[in-house]
Amino acid sequence: MANSPNGNGLVFDLSYAPFSHGSPGPYSTYNARFGVQYTKYLQLYGGTNNFDGQIGTPGAGGQHNASGNNTLWLYAVLAF
């Protein structure tokens, strides 16, 4: 059903925590995480293709597809 609040997708996350295995000396209290995250939308607002009913040319900003919201994030988290 289009225009419903339903949505689903996949989240892939690859991260590295350099100080997580008992670092020596002053580094033992540091906490860091570096990573990359990719979100792939399979369904958004109840639909996969043209979920809001806009009329237009595909690829020219007219139709809104769920896959058009896929995102790639690079992140760094530092905590003391």
Q: Within 13 A of 1's CA, how many CA atoms are on the CB side?
A: 3
The per-residue pLDDT for range 22-51, each reduced to its tens digit, is 666 666 667 889 999 999 988 877 777 776
Q: What's the whole-model pTM score?
A: 0.68
Average pLDDT over residues 18-25: 68
State residue 51's pLDDT score.
67
How many whole angstroms separate alpha carbon 41 and alpha carbon 47? 10
Residue 43: helix, strand or coil by DSSP? strand
Q: Look at residue 10 and tell me whether its pLDDT is greater than 90.
A: yes
The residue extents of the domains of the chain are 8-79
Percent of the chain at pLDDT exceeding 70? 65
- What backbone phi and psi angles, to 5 degrees, belong to 17? -115, 95
How many whole angstroms separate alpha carbon 34 and alpha carbon 17? 7
